[in-house]
């Protein structure tokens, strides 16, 4: 399982080894022993989530706080998304920095998002099925979010804003910095 570091400490791209032939393909999307050997730390995923969305749907930027903070391993089962994370770890040298990458069923890339990040994605294909593993359970009282169009972050979502579909809840999230008041 090759892991590729990003410019943000702890944020990793995972590129699985894919075995393909004329019948199709096979790959291990997660293996705890290989994860420990290659990533250098153990992780205990306790919840799997899956979402289906259409072109232009933007979900995020979401996070969990306190004892319910979550690390995630995200991937796309069908379609393509622009995946975006923001480092909210106040002691991190990358605090407030964002990272984005395209994840698709074709490239089979996965993104490991450590605890302390806001996470979101935008569907670039006609439809997309998004899947992610979490190392902690969801808790509504501990959820938070940052505006996808936060002027401080200046994230280029790569679509015209008129094409982006965002839930009212996500539109009303605060900007970076103001998120601490939630």
Residue 99's beta-bridge partner residues? 85
Asked if 62 is an active-site residue, the reply is: yes
Alpha helices in the chain (DSSP H): 32-39, 168-171
Please state, in angstroms and rounded to a whole number, the distance separating the CA atoms of residues 147 and 165: 13
Print the SS3 string covering 42-95: CCCCCEEEEEEEECCEEEEEEEECHHHCCCEEEEEEECEEEEEEEECCCCCCCC
Among residues 25, 62, 63, 119, the one annotated as catalytic is: 62
Q: Are 170 and 60 in contact (CB under 8 A)?
A: yes
Q: Are 173 and 179 in contact (CB under 8 A)?
A: yes
Q: Are 118 and 86 in contact (CB under 8 A)?
A: yes
Among residues 63, 99, 112, 132, the one annotated as catalytic is: 132
Question: Coil, helix or strand for 3?
Answer: strand
Catalytic residues: 62, 132
């Amino acid at each position: 399982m090759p892991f590729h570091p990003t410019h943000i400490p702890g944020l990793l791209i995972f590129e699985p080894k894919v075995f393909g032939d004329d019948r199709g393909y096979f790959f291990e999307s997660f293996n705890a022993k290989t994860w420990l050997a290659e990533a250098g730390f153990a992780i205990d995923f306790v919840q799997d989530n899956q979402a289906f969305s259409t072109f232009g749907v933007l979900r995020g930027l979401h996070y969990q706080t306190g004892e319910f903070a979550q690390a995630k391993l995200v991937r796309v089962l069908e379609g393509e998304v622009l995946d975006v994370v923001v480092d909210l770890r106040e002691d991190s040298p990358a605090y407030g920095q964002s990272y984005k990458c395209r994840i698709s069923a074709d490239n089979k890339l996965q993104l490991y998002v450590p605890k302390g990040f806001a996470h979101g994605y935008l569907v670039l294909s006609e439809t997309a099925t998004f899947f992610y593993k979490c190392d902690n359970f969801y808790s509504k009282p501990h959820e938070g979010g940052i505006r996808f169009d936060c002027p401080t972050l200046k994230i280029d979502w790569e679509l015209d804003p008129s094409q982006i579909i965002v839930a009212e809840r996500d539109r009303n999230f605060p900007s970076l910095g103001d998120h601490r008041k939630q």
